[in-house]
A and B are shown apart, each in its own frame.
Chain A
Amino acid sequence: MNMQTDARTEEQAEFISLMAGGQGYCIEVTKVREIRRWSPVTTLPHAPDCLLGVMNLRGAVIPVLDLALRLGLDRTALTARHVVLIVSAGERTVGLLVDSVSDILRVPRTAIQGTPTLSGADMRLIQGMIALNGEALRVLNMQAVAPTMAEVAA
């Protein structure tokens, strides 16, 4: 990375890193509204697999997605230790079931790279990569991860 310090390299972005389906991902902090412990949800009829159901978030009914399943990984085996990340996806609020939340990362915006080497159908779910201590964290694209029910089913 270029060590030159112009205004742009100074700009920092914060991410929450998390584990889903045994893999590391991260979400921009500004998108995360809160983190809750898993509790059973109300299932929806004819819902796609990854849509676990709906939960009550202080009076609002929001969908909860199994993030691993949504990313094409194995279904999460539910325990009370699992957590639900409440995130904003555009106008909507959704819950994401993940294995665990590990850390808050602060990285320069320039450290986020595009994903030219990734391919596959779910590429649009990842909007970039952060290389950190020799590990690559995938940055989730919230809009694509949390589609409407119709989009998931399509």
Chain B
Amino acid sequence: MTDELRDTFFAESEDLLAAMGEGLAAMSDGTAETETMHAVFRAVHSIKGAAGAFALSDVVSFAHSFETVLDAIRSDRLVPDADVMRLLQRSGDILADLLEAARDGRSDPPEALGAILEALEELAGGEDLAEEDFVFEPMGLGMSFLADDAPAQPKLFRLHFRPSRQFFHNGHEPANLFAALSDLGEVTVACDTTGLPRLEVIDLEESYLAWSLTLETEAGEDQVRDVFAFVEDLCDLEVEEMPRFAMGILPLIDLPEATDTAAEDVPAEEPQAAPAPTPTTPPVSVPTPPTVKEAPRPTLRVDLDRVDRLINSVGELIINQAVIAQKVAEAGLPPSSGLAAQVEDLSLLARDIQEGVMLIRAQPVKPLFQRMARVVREAADATGKQVDLVTEGEDTEVDRTVVEGLADPLTHMVRNAIDHGIESPDDRIATGKASAGRLLLTASHVSGNVRIVIKDDGAGLNRERIQATAVRKGLIPADAVLSDSEIDNLLFLPGFSTAASVTSLSGRGVGMDVARTAITALGGRISITSRPGEGTTFIISLPLTLAVLDGLIVAVADQPMIVPAAAVLETIRPSSRDFLDLGQGERVLNLRGTHVPIVDVASVLGYGPVVDPSQAIVVLVRTGEDTRAALAISGISDKRQVVIKSLRGNVGTVPGISAATILGDGKVALILDPDTLVGMAARRRDLHSITTFEAGHEHAD
């Protein structure tokens, strides 16, 4: 079997698994329609069918058991109560595991396979699981030419064959059967036309003829009958083995009024050979397909590499266009030349192309959310908690890299929410909550960004313990006075892990800092809010596309850098009285009565001495849901869309920097990550050292 075909199979299986998961989810929450059940059944059934072609016997036999239970449900022999639905969900997971193992060439069975299989078989109970014993070898088709046990001595068979009307209706041809017989040995054919009525009363659909045949063959009777396997009920057939008189003597006897004819002559005699429609049956119009309720829009499957090559080229085009724009501006052409306007048009066109191309990569978050459904089930099982997952906005589209890159952080956060957030059923009832916790997962587009919210209705963060942990780990001074929001954000510090309850579930050696790093790497931000007794909410905000970003081009120690425009609230040229000196060189910006911490970007990045704030320009950025910071820089030159170039592949993670871009002059400019910059500055203040922070970041790559 070729690799390409395998790829097709596994890609198709993924689609089918997604359809199955969707259907099962709808069944669980009661929104299923009749068709849903059938679609789920078909998905599993199709996987089984195709898996057989690759001799994936584990997949086939599991899918078979799974399908048997689904069949019982769709034919109302089994009621899909909550327990059954749970089993079906788990079965779906196992099927996915088996396929994944098959794809990766692993043979280790999923842990829960045995138990789930047993449960399925128990449910199937009366169903005939064993009846269809699955044969993984391709089945014989009833026309075997192999005659292992055939005796060397040829046998003589006599056959009487009279096809029924249905025989012809089903597309059979007597001549084809005779030809098949002739593969087994020597055949003689005699047609019995005695049944033919007078020409004027002939019904062209009716069968009037019969045949007598002899066959001299080394094959057994079974093989002879096999030739007629498809027409068993569509004809009268007698097969008898004749005693042998002598080799070569063919007893053509007992055929009164029979006309000898050769096999190839037969079709000409057959009634159905007449092509004209019969007068007795009025012509039926060509079958027209019934209207489909909602035809899926045609789609195109394209190799991802091709799309990415296109995206890269478009990225180059935009850079190139920026270079041209800059050169045109520098050339100082008179406005009457119109060149500047043309360049502007070019730039708009390039943007259009880019947006179009990026849309090709856009995917709904649905598969990601579906994966989380599984994570929730597993985590709930492992902790003995009850959790209802509610998802919204599954059709929200994001770049496929985001879908892929979010899988790990989301998994971690969902596990965390169940492990640490949602209480045990007893505890919940004791505090007047429903015994099952609720985990809300939503995706939406908010002002040019994609927002993903993970919200639980659990106990909320234990701030006392978080602060104690941070102190014990030396992340903050023992006497630090922190706001609730600052405490919550300690969770994101590298090296922080709520060690008081490291469980097999969420305490896998990675903390929220890894989740945050992953999200930052996607150009996104994450924030947290929590209310004691009411639960915790994480909000992830991501750019729509990963290829371009609206940015402010600023100067930091003479180096051009980019501040993502999405984070910018306003730009200010403050006068010296807007600064408040807190002592020890610490200053805050007095902004209409509120105090905002100042981050000297050049100094935090180690580029040079502290900028004199009175000479600085301040970019006010959002750093959390309701926190702000003032980035002090030495100038702003432009605001424009820039093409994002990842640093991760060739360079690695750089503290305070999320990515790079290439400016009109071909130079590389770094894109600032305001959140980590603020964190870096805060840590310089609090610890008078940034070493811990850097150490943490080195491991994050």
Instruction: List residues of A (28-73) whose CB comes within 8 Å of B's CBs.
Output: 41-47, 53-56, 58-63
Q: Is the CB of A56 within 8 A of B662?
A: yes
Assembled-state Cα–Cα distance A60/B644 (Å): 10
Q: List B residues 662-701 near A (Cβ within 8 Å).
A: 662, 666-670, 690, 694, 697-699, 701
Q: Are A54's CB and B647's CB within 8 A?
A: yes
> Are B652 and A56 in touch, CB under 8 angstroms?
no
Which size bracket describes the interface of A in this complex?
20 to 34
A44 close to B649 (CB less than 8 A)? no
Residue of B at shortest CB range from A47?
Answer: B654
Q: Looking across the interface, which residue of chain A has its beta carbon closest to that of B701?
A: A150
* Contact, CB under 8 Å: A59 / B662: yes
Which of A47, A61, A91 lies in contact with B645, CB distance below 8 A?
A61
* Residue of B651, B656, B697, B701 ringed by the most chain A CB atoms within 10 A: B651
The reply to whether B312 and A42 contact each other, CB–CB distance below 8 Å, is: no
User: Known: A41-B668, A45-B606. Is A62-B698 also a contact (CB below 8 A)?
Assistant: no
Q: Are the CB atoms of B650 and A150 closer together than 8 Å? A: no
State the CA gap A116–B356 with chains docked (Å): 58
Q: Is the CB of B650 within 8 A of A59?
A: no
- In the docked arrangement, what's the CA distance between A53 and B666, Å? 15
- Inter-chain CA distance A44–B607, complex, in Å, is 9
Nearest residue (CB) in A for B648 is A148
Given contacts A42-B668, A45-B606, A56-B668, contact A63 B701 (CB under 8 A): no
List of B residues within 8 angstroms of A46 by Cβ: 605-606, 654-656, 690, 694
Of all chain A residues, which has the CB nearest B668?
A42
A61 near B698 with CB under 8 A, answer no
CB pair A149–B651 under 8 Å, yes or no, is: yes
How many whole Å from B309's CB to the nearest CB in chain A? 12
Are A154 and B655 interface neighbours, CB within 8 A?
no
**A-chain residues with CB within 8 Å of residue B646 when the two chains form the complex:** 61
For residue B690, which residue of chain A has the nearest CB?
A46
Chain B residues, Cβ within 8 Å of A91: 649
Contact assessment for B654 and A44 in the assembled complex, using a CB-CB cutoff below 8 Å: yes
Q: Is A61 a contact of B701 with CB atoms below 8 Å?
A: no
Bound-state Cα–Cα, A94 to B649, Å: 10
Determine the residue in chain A with the shortest Cβ distance to B656.
A45
Contact present for B666 and A153 (CB under 8 Å): no
A44 to B315, CA, bound (A): 23
| Distance from B68 Cβ to chain A, minimum over Cβ atoms (Å) | 47
Q: How many residues of B contact A (CB 8 A)?
A: 34
Q: Given the complex of chains A and B, what is the CA–CA distance between A147 and B660 in angstroms?
A: 19
The answer to whether residues A42 and B652 also contact, given A54-B647, A150-B699 and a CB cut-off of 8 A, is: no
Residue B653 is within 8 A (CB to CB) of chain A in the complex? yes
Closest beta carbon of chain B to A147's beta carbon, Å: 9
Chain A residues lying within 8 Å of B690, measured Cβ to Cβ, are 46
- With A60-B645, A61-B662, A92-B649 already in contact, the answer to whether A45 and B669 are too (CB < 8 A) is no
Distance (whole angstroms) from the CB of A12 to the closest CB of chain B: 31
Q: Given that A59-B316, A150-B699 are known contacts, is A44 also in contact with B670, CB under 8 Å in the complex?
A: yes
Contacts of B651 in A (CB 8 A): 44, 54, 61-63, 148-149
Asked if B559 is an interface residue, CB under 8 A from chain A, the answer is yes
Q: Name the residue on B nearest A92 (C-beta).
A: B650
CB < 8 Å: which of B319, B605, B701 contacts A149? B701
Residues of B within 8 A of A61 (CB): 645-647, 650-651, 660, 662, 668
Does A93 sit at the interface, judged by CB under 8 A? yes
- A84 CB to nearest chain B CB (Å): 14
Q: Give the contacting residue for A150; candidates B316, B667, B698; CB below 8 A.
A: B698
In whole Å, how far is B367's beta carbon from the nearest beta carbon of chain A? Answer: 27
Which of chain A's residues has its CB closest to B677's CB? A45
1/0 per position for B635-651, CB-CB distance to A under 8 A?
Answer: 00000000001110111
- Out of B312, B315, B319, B652, name the residue touching A148 (CB < 8 Å): B652
Q: Which residues of A contact B666 (CB under 8 A)?
A: 56
Known: A59-B316, A59-B319, A61-B650. Contact between A44 and B662, CB under 8 A?
A: no
How many angstroms from the CA of A104 to the CA of B606 in the assembled complex? Answer: 41
Pair A148/B657 contact, Cβ less than 8 Å = no
Minimum CB–CB distance for A42 against chain B, Å: 4
Nearest CB on A from B111, distance (A): 33
**Which residue of chain B is the closest to A41 with respect to CB atoms?**
B668
Known: A46-B605, A46-B606, A61-B645. A93 touches B670 (CB 8 A): no
Interface residues of B in 519-534 (CB under 8 A from A): none
Q: Which residues of B contact A54 (CB under 8 A)?
A: 647, 651, 660, 668
Which chain A residues numbered 86 to 100 have a C-beta less than 8 Å away from chain B? 91-94
* Complex: A90 Cα to B660 Cα, angstroms: 22
Find the B residue at minimum CB distance from A44.
B654
| B645 nearest in chain A by CB position | A61
Which residues on the B side are within 8 Å of A43 (C-beta)?
559, 607
Given contacts A45-B607, A46-B655, A94 and B650 within 8 Å (CB-CB): yes
The answer for the CA separation of A91 and B654 in the assembled complex, in Å, is 19
The residue in B315, B606, B650, B690 that gathers the most chain A C-beta atoms within 10 A of its C-beta is B650
CA of A61 to CA of B649, assembled, Å: 9
Tell me if A42 and B649 are in contact (CB < 8 A).
Answer: no
19 contacts between A and B (CB under 8 A): A42-B660, A42-B670, A45-B604, A45-B605, A45-B656, A46-B605, A46-B654, A54-B647, A56-B667, A59-B319, A61-B650, A61-B651, A93-B650, A149-B652, A149-B653, A149-B654, A150-B653, A150-B697, A150-B698
Question: Which 3 residue pairs spanning A and B have beta carbons closest together?
Answer: A149-B652, A45-B605, A150-B698
Q: Give the interface of A toward B (CB within 8 A).
A: 41-47, 53-56, 58-63, 91-94, 148-150, 153-154
A-B contact sample (20 more), CB < 8 A, given A53-B668, A92-B650, A150-B653 = A42-B660, A42-B670, A44-B657, A44-B670, A45-B606, A45-B670, A54-B651, A54-B660, A58-B316, A59-B645, A59-B662, A60-B645, A61-B650, A61-B662, A91-B649, A148-B652, A149-B653, A149-B654, A150-B652, A153-B698
Binding site for A on B (CB under 8 A): 312, 315-316, 319, 559, 604-607, 645-647, 649-657, 660, 662, 666-670, 690, 694, 697-699, 701
